[in-house]
């Protein structure tokens, strides 16, 4: 497989699966992937130094995503998982044009949530960038009936600090959810991989409402693509390497979230 500049991308079964996010949120996808693919080697890159992606322009997120993918390819990745809804929206199509290895992306789980919609509403939580993107508009045209899209600028930062509960995040969510507290909410879409770590606190505002994320579906798609390309590792031991552009402190948070 040729890359720009003529470098060769390793395409054997030994290479790791490269996965990335703007920060620590993608660890929620990684955990699901490790569970379903225990024999694979995973190389996770959290771009904490440049987080958040969700309030940047599409061009900025595309540029940052390309840098990260170049790094993962230099490390011999056999496939890429964009464990970030925002980066998928901004960069997946361009990356797939540029590189021929499997590139798996994510999207807010409006499709499964639409099955729970009757006469109330589905609350879709995502970054401003995801909600403003063309990909989301397309998804909304298919499964948007009853969906209210709520951008959450500033929410991922709580997860980056491991602040999953406490007065500050409660106050943030109190304000965010106040228009919906008296409404008939039938499902909540966690359309950003960081929000998956906030399940408990979000559920405390909406007891009994199903919270839906796209992690399982993403890993299913990863398995399907690896299978199609004959790239599934079927022997040996799996492993996980965590790297962050934010340095040791961010890496320690990623390790803690792996155990959470």
First vs last Cα of the chain: how many Å apart? Answer: 38
**Residue 108 φ/ψ region, left for φ over 0, alpha for ψ in the -120 to 50 degree band, beta for the rest:** beta
Stretch that binds ligand DGL, among 10-18, 181-189, 192-200, 243-251 (CB under 6 A): 192-200
**Helices within 52-148 (DSSP H only):** 58-74, 85-98, 110-114, 128-132, 134-143
Candidate residues 18, 22, 189, 253; the one interacting with ligand DGL per rule CB under 6 A: 22
Q: Is 218 in the site for ligand DGL (CB under 6 A)?
A: no
Binding characters for ligand DGL, 96-135, by CB under 6 A (x = yes): -------------------------------x--x-----
Residue whose pair of structure tokens reads 């299978």 in the numeric block? 227
At closest approach, how far in Å is the CB of 52 from ligand DGL? 3
Max CA separation in the chain (angstroms): 59
Binding characters for ligand DGL, 223-252, by CB under 6 A (x = yes): ------------------------------
Q: What is the 3-state secondary structure (H, E, C) of 204-215?
A: HHCCCCCEECCH
* Two structure tokens written together for 168: 């500050």
Using CA atoms, how far apart are residues 84 and 133, in angstroms rounded to an integer?
A: 14
Candidate residues 27, 77, 80, 84; the one interacting with ligand DGL per rule CB under 6 A: 84
Q: What are phi and psi of 106, to 5 degrees?
A: -130, 155
Q: Is 156 in the site for ligand DGL (CB under 6 A)?
A: yes
Catalytic residue numbers read: 84, 192
Q: What are phi and psi of 167, to 5 degrees?
A: -60, -35
Stretch that binds ligand DGL, among 79-87, 94-102, 177-185, 218-226 (CB under 6 A): 79-87
Q: Is 54 in the site for ligand DGL (CB under 6 A)?
A: yes
Count of residues making up the chain: 260
Candidate residues 25, 105, 151, 246; the one interacting with ligand DGL per rule CB under 6 A: 25
- Size, binding site for ligand DGL by CB under 6 A: 16
| Of 15 and 25, CB closest to ligand DGL | 25
Report the interface residues with ligand DGL, using CB under 6 A.
21-22, 25, 51-54, 84-86, 127, 130, 156, 192-194
């Amino acid at each position: 497989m040729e890359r720009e500049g003529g470098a060769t991308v390793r395409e054997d079964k030994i290479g790791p699966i490269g996965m990335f996010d703007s920060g620590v949120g993608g660890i929620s996808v990684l955990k699901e992937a490790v569970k379903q693919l225990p024999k694979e080697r995973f190389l996770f890159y959290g771009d904490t130094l440049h987080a958040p992606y969700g309030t940047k322009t599409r061009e900025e997120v595309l540029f940052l995503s390309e840098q990260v993918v170049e790094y993962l390819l230099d490390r011999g990745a056999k496939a890429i998982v964009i464990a970030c809804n925002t980066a998928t929206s901004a960069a997946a199509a361009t990356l797939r044009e540029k590189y021929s290895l499997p590139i798996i992306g994510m999207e807010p789980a409006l499709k499964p949530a639409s099955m729970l919609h009757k006469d109330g509403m589905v609350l879709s939580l995502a970054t401003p960038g995801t909600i403003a993107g063309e990909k989301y508009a397309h998804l909304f045209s298919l499964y948007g009936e009853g969906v209210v899209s709520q951008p959450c600028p500033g929410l991922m930062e709580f997860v980056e600090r491991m602040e999953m509960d406490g007065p500050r995040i409660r106050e943030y969510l109190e304000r965010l959810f106040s228009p919906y507290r008296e409404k008939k909410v039938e499902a909540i879409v966690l359309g950003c991989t960081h929000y998956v770590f906030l399940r408990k606190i979000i559920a405390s505002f909406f007891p009994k409402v199903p919270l839906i994320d796209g992690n399982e579906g993403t890993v299913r798609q990863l398995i399907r693509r690896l299978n199609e390309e004959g790239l599934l590792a079927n022997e040996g031991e799996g492993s996980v390497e965590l790297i962050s552009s934010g340095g040791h402190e961010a890496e320690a948070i990623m390790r803690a979230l792996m155990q959470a």
